[in-house]
Amino acid sequence: MNHDSYPEIKPGKKTLKRIYIAVMLLIVGRAIQAACRTDSTVKKEFQNFKDGFAFSLGVHPFGPWMIVGRDEKGRAKYLGWKPEGKKISLKMNIKNVEAAMLVFTFMESTSVAFARNRFVVDGDLIDALAIVRVLDLVEVYLLPKLIAGLAVKRYPKWSELSPVKKHLGRIVIYTRALLGF
């Protein structure tokens, strides 16, 4: 057998997909920060985290990531995309780029991806589930109902989130996310 016929292969990169995921993570990260100042449920979830809590959400093993923390007032704060040098209490990594694409193209909801074992969670599972709830709510604000219905476990009823509150919240969250405050 001629070994040269059977090459060693160093796998390449899926650069375009990683750029897309990085942009989505940036939008979602800043939207979480904005939603925490706009929506009482998101605010409450963050107030329940311990002081100094920070979580990262990204793709194993090379990223991209987003890091969101809890500030001293109990509000969410987007801390950028570099986990290096940050004290992160909860690391949520999607196992590969393709699984991340399923989540960020809304072909698979975060909770379904969780159930399908596509995440590696390093930290408290209760905190991770709270983050999944936050992500669901943020997606409801960010996306039209048709797409958000695919992305979240259960789309909120009118009694839980009225259309007026949702649309006003959407405008505020998009504005805050774009301006970064």
Q: Give dist(CA 150, CA 29) in Å, integer.
A: 20
The reply on whether position 8 binds other proteins by CB under 8 A is yes
Q: Which of 137, 157, 132 is nearest to 148 (CA)?
A: 137
Amino acid at 134: V
The reply on whether position 5 binds other proteins by CB under 8 A is yes
Contact with other proteins (CB under 8 A): which of 12, 85, 144, 163? Answer: 12
Pick between residue 99 and residue 131 the one whose CB is nearest to other proteins: 99
The reply on whether position 102 binds other proteins by CB under 8 A is yes
Binding to other proteins (CB under 8 A) within 126-145 occurs at none
Contact with other proteins (CB under 8 A): which of 43, 75, 77, 95? Answer: 95
CB of 130 to other proteins, least distance (A): 24
Residue 72 token pair:
């001293």
The reply on whether position 120 binds other proteins by CB under 8 A is yes
CB of 87 to other proteins, least distance (A): 25
Q: Give dist(CA 87, CA 138) in Å, integer.
A: 24
The reply on whether position 96 binds other proteins by CB under 8 A is yes
Q: Give dist(CA 116, CA 108) in Å, integer.
A: 10
- Bridge partners (DSSP) of residue 76 are 70
The reply on whether position 18 binds other proteins by CB under 8 A is yes
The reply on whether position 87 binds other proteins by CB under 8 A is no
What is the DSSP code (8-state) at residue 92? E
Residue 79 token pair:
């801390």
- Bridge partners (DSSP) of residue 67 are 56
Contact string 50-69 vs other proteins (x = CB under 8 A): ---------xxxx-------
Q: Give the pairing of strands 76-78 and 65-70.
A: antiparallel
- Bridge partners (DSSP) of residue 90 are 55
The reply on whether position 16 binds other proteins by CB under 8 A is no
- Bridge partners (DSSP) of residue 93 are 58, 120
Q: Which residues bind other proteins (CB under 8 A)?
A: 1, 3, 5-14, 18, 59-62, 95-99, 102, 108, 116, 120
